[in-house]
Amino acid sequence: MTATITTDPAESVRGIEDGATILVGGFGMAGMPTALIDALIDQGATDLTIVSNNAGNGDRGLAALLAAGRVRKIVCSFPRQHDSYVFDQLYRAGQIELELVPQGNLAERMRAAGAGIGAFYCPTGVGTPLADGKETRIIEGHEYVLEYPIHGDYALIGAYRADRLGNLVYRKTARNFGPVMATAASTVIAEVHDVVEIGSIDPEVVITPSIYVDRVLHVAAMNRKAS
């Protein structure tokens, strides 16, 4: 399957429906697909469940989506930072639901979704409120908590480069959750800075194969077109 490549942000997020679960890449702002998020705000989908590492930074990207009142629930590892004031205000006002997931568990739950794993036992969170209500088991003398996969209806991820098939290459920290999110969602939409011809990317450096990618937003070409 060949990914659809476009310079139209609205086309990239076409069809995202109210109530969707959306996996959003980014480690803070590193690798966050801000152009896709801005397009989603304009598109109007609401009552969303967002799965991401953070709960937004400042006023841009995910924070802007929260401020627009489009998110019902956020599943993340780091909801509180010095610049996460949008989430903080919404949470204190009871206007958003939070599911706190340790960072390793967050990544592994999405990886499990992509690998077809029904559930797994993990020691992280044992003996804390994060394990309340969850099944536990003693395995070789150690207590583990049962965790379930996180599946997304959509994944919005940021990558550095794509070829015209949709194979993706990331750059440094911007790689973060993109690879596991791409395997865990039904529809994957990637925001990239550079699109090259087929065969221009060494197969050995492809991180996310095109089979996982449905749409690619070429932001550099979009910016040139706008100017």
Answer left, alpha or beta for residue 44, where phi above 0 means left and psi between -120 and 50 means alpha: left
Q: Which residues of the chain have pLDDT under 70?
A: 1, 221-227
- Answer whether 15's CB lies under 8 Å from 178's CB: no
| Per-residue confidence (pLDDT) for residue 223, from 0 to 100 | 57
User: Tens digit of pLDDT for each residue in 21-61?
Assistant: 999 999 988 999 999 999 999 999 999 999 999 998 889 99
CB atoms within 10 A of CB 105: 20
- What pLDDT, on a 0 to 100 scale, did the predictor assign at position 227? 42
Question: What local confidence, expressed as pLDDT, does residue 147 receive?
Answer: 97
pLDDT of residue 80: 86
Model confidence, pTM: 0.94
User: Would you state the pLDDT for residue 222?
Assistant: 57
98/113 Cα distance (integer angstroms) = 21
Residues facing residue 98 across a β-bridge: 74
Q: Are 9 and 41 in contact (CB under 8 A)?
A: no
Q: Which pLDDT does position 221 carry in this prediction? A: 61
**Residue 204: per-residue pLDDT:** 95
CATH class assigned to 4-116+149-226: alpha beta
